[in-house]
Chains A and B, each alone.
Chain A
Amino acid sequence: MRRRWTPSRIIAYILLVGYAVLSLVPFVWAFLVSVTPMSYVNEKGERVGVDIMQWPPRISIFKWPPRVFGAPGTLSNYVKVFQVVPFARWTLNTILYAGLTTLGHLLFDTLGGYAFARLRFPGKNLIFTLFLATMMIPMHVTVIPVYNLMVKYNLVNTYLGLFLPKLTGVFGLFLMRQFFLSIPTELEEAAMIDGAGFIRRFFQIVLPVSKPALAALAIYTFLGTWNDFFWPLLITSDKSMFTLTMGLNFFRTSYYTFWQLMMSATLLMTVPMLIVFLSFQRYFVESGAITGMKG
C-alpha cells in the first residue's frame, strides 16, 4: 500500500520530528559539555580556559580529536568524576539500593500477589481493601514517622535504613495479583491432583510461567529505585552513603558549578538506565497495564 503525502501526514511528521529533537537536545547538549575540557593548551602553547556558554558551540568533527566549543574534545571528565568525588562508592550504593529493593519486590510482591489472587484465607478481602486505601496516601504523610522509626533504631546512614522501608509495596502486589488472575488455573489443578501442596504448586508451576510479569516488575522497581531521590535525601547524610541522585548536587557550590563534571556524572548515571530501557523496551512501551511508577 502506497502511503500518500496528505497535508495531515506532513503536519504529523513535522510534529513528531520536532518533538523528537526537543526530547533529545538536552541530552546531546549535556554530552557536548561533558566532553569539553576545562582548559587546554592552544597552538601557541598557552593554557586557555573554555567557555561552555559560547554560541555557536563551534563543533568540528573533521579534526582529531573533534572540537567542541573550540577545544579538543576529551573523555577525561568521566575519569575525573571518579577522582574528585567518591563516585564509585555512590554507584555501588545505588546498585545495592536498587538491587536489594528489586529482590525484595520480586519475592514479597509475588508471594503476596499469589496469596491474594489464588488462596482463600479469612480476612483476605478486608486486608485487600485496606491495601487499596493506602495507595491514596501521599508519602509526605507517612515519611516523617517512618524517618523517626529509622532514627530510633539507629538506621540513619545505613544500607538497612535505605532499603528496609522499600522492600515491598502495594503497587507491585496489585501488578502480580492481576497477572496471576489472568493465567488459567488448569495447570495448577493438574499439579494438585498429582498431590503437590500449595507451596510446591507456586514455586514449580506458577513461577516458571510468570517470567514476563516478574521481568516487568523487576525493571520498573530497579529503574524507580535507581532514580529515587527523596528517601536517600532523608536517610543519608554521610557522603559515603550517598546514592547517585544525591551525589549529583555535589558539583555545585555556592560559588561555582563544575558543569563538565556535573554533566559527565549525570550521563554516567543515566546511560545504564537507558541501556536497560532499550533492551527491555517491550516491557515499557507495550504494557499499558504497568504505568504509573512515575508521576
Chain B
Amino acid sequence: MRRRVREALVGYLFSAPIIIAILAFTIVPVFQALYYSFTDYDALLQQKYNYIFNPEFSLQDYLVVLLDEEKPSLQELLERFDPVDFIEYTFGFELDNKQKEILKNYFLSEKLLKDFLDRKLNKDMRLKDFMARYLKTGKRYFTVYRPHIIGFENFKKLFKDRYFWIALKNSAVFSLVVTPIQTFLALILAIAANQKIRGVKFFKTTFFIPSITSSAAISMIFLLLYTKPGLINRLLGVFGVPPVDWLGNTKTALPAIMAMNIWTTAGYFMVTFLAGLQNIPSSIIEASEIDGAKGWTRFWKIILPLLKPQIIFVVTLGIIGTLQVFDQIYFLIRSQENITVSMYIYQNAFSYGKMGYASAIALIFFLIIFTVTFIQRKIMKEERFW
C-alpha cells in the first residue's frame, strides 16, 4: 500500500513540469482564445492605462488656467472640473458606463485640484498610478484592461471580410497543390533510390539538407534566386521563357513559394517512403514478378498498398504543414492578395492589435484544419499511429 502511494507521488512529481506547462501554455490559452473571440480585445487599448502624462499640463489645458500668471480659487476650479470629461478630453478615449459611474462617485476632485494649486503635479505619471492616487475606490476599473463582450460580431465580420476569404482560398490552394506534388515526388524519388542504386546514402543525405535548413534561410536564398535577373530566370531563359519578377507579381508569387515549399519537404518525405519500401520483403516483389505484374501495374497494385501507412503519414503531415505555412509568406509575400490565413491571423493580432478578431479567425481555421484532417483520415481509413 505504501509503495503504491509513493509510486503515485513520484508519478505526479515527474509529470508535474509538463502538466503545468501544457496547462499554462496550451489548455488555458485555448479557453482564453475562445473568450477573446467573443470580445473586441484590442492590444493597443490594452496599453491605455500605461499612458504617461503630466497632470499639471493637462489640467492647465483642460481648465484653461495658467498657474504662472493667475491663481484661481479652489471653488472656482471645482465648478469647472468634471473628471469624466477631463479623462476623455485628455486621453481621447471613451469610458464605459461603469467607469463613468466610478469617476462621478469616487473621484477625489478636491484633493486633485488642491495638489494642482499647490503645484505638486508637474511630473510625469502613468494614468493608472494617477487613478490609484485620486480614486477613493474602484481603481481596478482603471488598471486592468477589460475588453467588451460583443457576441458573434467577430464571426459575422469575418464572413463579410474580403481578405479572410482571399487568405482562406490561398491557404486551400497552397495545400491542395503542394501536398499531392510533394508526396508524389517523394514517392518517385524513393522508388528510384530503391532500384539497387549505388550511393543511396549520399542521395538520402543530399535530399534531406533543405529540410534541416531554417525557413528563414531558405526564404533568403530563394529571394535571390527568384529576382528578375536571378538564376531561375537565367535557367528558364535557356528554354526561351521571358524573365518574370516571380515574387513581385501577384500571379506568380504564391506558386513560386509553393515550388519552394515542395523543394524543401519532398526530400524529407522521400526518406520516410524509402524506409517503408525497404521494409517490403523482396519475396513479395519477386512473387509479383512471377505473376507477371510489371511496371505501373506493380506500382499501383503491389507497392502503393504496402506503403499505405507511410502515405497516410506523409499526407497528414503535408496538409497540416501546408495549411499553417507562415515564415515563407512573411518573408516573401508583398501583396495582401497573396496572404495565407496564418499570415492574416498574425497581421490582425500583432500588426493591427485586433486580438479578438484574430482569435475568431484562428478558431475558425482550427475547425477547418480539424475537419479536413478528419475527412482525410476517414477516406484513407487509417490505422492509428500512436
What is A's interface to B at a CB cutoff of 8 Å? 3, 8-9, 11-13, 15-16, 19-20, 22-27, 29-30, 33, 53, 55, 107-109, 111-112, 114-116, 119-122, 124, 127, 130-132, 134, 136-149, 151, 165, 167-170, 173-174, 178, 197-199, 202, 223, 226-230, 233-234, 244-246, 248-249, 252, 257, 259, 262-263, 266, 269-270, 273-274, 277-278, 281, 284-286, 288, 291-292, 294-295
Shortest Cβ distance from B224 into A: residue: A259
A206 CB to nearest B CB, Å: 11
How many residues of chain B have a CB within 8 Å of chain A?
Answer: 100
Bound form: Cα–Cα A223–B345 in Å: 26
If A24-B206, A127-B19 touch, does A277 touch B197 (CB 8 Å cutoff)? no
Shortest Cβ distance from B344 into A: residue: A140
Shortest Cβ distance from B321 into A: residue: A295
Contact of B220 among A24, A132, A262 (CB under 8 A): A262
Shortest Cβ distance from A116 into B: residue: B15
Most buried by A among B30, B32, B197, B213: B213
Which residues from chain B contact A116 at a C-beta distance below 8 Å? 15
Shortest Cβ distance from A267 into B: residue: B217
Asked whether any CB of chain A lies closer than 8 Å to the CB of B355, the reply is yes
Cross-chain contact B209 with A23 (CB below 8 angstroms): yes
If A119-B8, A285-B205 touch, does A12 touch B197 (CB 8 Å cutoff)? yes
Which residues from chain A contact B195 at a C-beta distance below 8 Å? 8-9, 12
Q: Which of the 9-residue segments B78-86, B118-126, B363-371 touches chain A?
A: B363-371
Asked whether any CB of chain A lies closer than 8 Å to the CB of B142, the reply is no
A271 CB to nearest B CB, Å: 10
If A19-B267, A29-B225, A288-B272 touch, does A9 touch B196 (CB 8 Å cutoff)? yes
**In the complex, how many residue pairs between chain A and chain B have their CB atoms under 8 Å apart?**
274
Cross-chain contact A137 with B15 (CB below 8 angstroms): no
Which residues from chain A contact B204 at a C-beta distance below 8 Å? 285
Cross-chain contact B213 with A273 (CB below 8 angstroms): yes
Contact of A26 among B9, B225, B363 (CB under 8 A): B225
If A20-B207, A270-B214, A295-B317 touch, does A140 touch B345 (CB 8 Å cutoff)? yes
Cross-chain contact B362 with A144 (CB below 8 angstroms): yes
Q: Which of B188-206 contact A (CB under 8 A)?
A: 188-189, 191-193, 195-198, 202-206
Bound form: Cα–Cα A53–B234 in Å: 9
Which residues from chain A contact B93 at a C-beta distance below 8 Å? none
Which residues from chain B contact A25 at a C-beta distance below 8 Å? 231
Which residues from chain B contact A119 at a C-beta distance below 8 Å? 7-8, 10-11, 14
If A29-B231, A112-B18, A295-B317 touch, does A120 touch B4 (CB 8 Å cutoff)? yes
Bound form: Cα–Cα A138–B193 in Å: 34
Cross-chain contact A227 with B213 (CB below 8 angstroms): yes
B248 CB to nearest A CB, Å: 13
Cross-chain contact B221 with A266 (CB below 8 angstroms): yes
If A20-B203, A278-B205, A288-B272 touch, does A144 touch B359 (CB 8 Å cutoff)? yes
Q: Which of B206-235 contact A (CB under 8 A)?
A: 206-218, 220-225, 227, 229-231, 234
Bound form: Cα–Cα A16–B192 in Å: 7
Provide the main secondary structure of the chain B interface.
Answer: helix
Contact of A111 among B15, B192, B215, B326 (CB under 8 A): B15
Cross-chain contact B192 with A11 (CB below 8 angstroms): yes
Asked whether any CB of chain A lies closer than 8 Å to the CB of B26, the reply is yes
Shortest Cβ distance from A294 into B: residue: B211
Cross-chain contact B205 with A121 (CB below 8 angstroms): no
Shortest Cβ distance from B370 into A: residue: A136
Which residues from chain A contact B275 at a C-beta distance below 8 Å? 286, 288
If A120-B7, A230-B327, A269-B217 touch, does A140 touch B14 (CB 8 Å cutoff)? no
Cross-chain contact B224 with A30 (CB below 8 angstroms): yes
Cross-chain contact A111 with B208 (CB below 8 angstroms): no
Which residues from chain A contact B345 at a C-beta distance below 8 Å? 140
If A16-B193, A138-B365 touch, does A30 touch B221 (CB 8 Å cutoff)? yes
Contact of A229 among B6, B8, B216 (CB under 8 A): B216
Asked whether any CB of chain A lies closer than 8 Å to the CB of B313, the reply is yes
Most buried by A among B11, B204, B321: B11
Which residues from chain B contact A149 at a C-beta distance below 8 Å? 24, 29
Asked whether any CB of chain A lies closer than 8 Å to the CB of B375, the reply is no
Shortest Cβ distance from B213 into A: residue: A270
B293 CB to nearest A CB, Å: 14
Which residues from chain A contact B223 at a C-beta distance below 8 Å? 252, 257
Contact of B386 among A132, A246, A285 (CB under 8 A): A132
Cross-chain contact A109 with B215 (CB below 8 angstroms): no
A121 CB to nearest B CB, Å: 3
Cross-chain contact B209 with A15 (CB below 8 angstroms): no
Asked whether any CB of chain A lies closer than 8 Å to the CB of B324, the reply is yes
Cross-chain contact B359 with A295 (CB below 8 angstroms): no
Cross-chain contact B30 with A137 (CB below 8 angstroms): yes
Contact of A295 among B26, B198, B324, B349 (CB under 8 A): B324
Bound form: Cα–Cα A114–B15 in Å: 8
Which residues from chain B contact A169 at a C-beta distance below 8 Å? 18, 21
Cross-chain contact A19 with B325 (CB below 8 angstroms): no
Bound form: Cα–Cα A25–B223 in Å: 14
9 more contacts with CB within 8 A, not counting A146-B25, A274-B209, are: A26-B263, A115-B12, A134-B22, A138-B320, A229-B215, A230-B327, A263-B220, A281-B205, A291-B272
Which residues from chain B contact A143 at a C-beta distance below 8 Å? 29, 349
Contact of B25 among A121, A165, A259 (CB under 8 A): A165
Which residues from chain A contact B350 at a C-beta distance below 8 Å? 147, 234
B327 CB to nearest A CB, Å: 5
Bound form: Cα–Cα A25–B198 in Å: 22
Most buried by B among A139, A262, A266: A266
Most buried by A among B198, B206, B212, B363: B212
A175 CB to nearest B CB, Å: 11
Cross-chain contact B212 with A277 (CB below 8 angstroms): yes
Bound form: Cα–Cα A265–B189 in Å: 31
Bound form: Cα–Cα A115–B324 in Å: 32
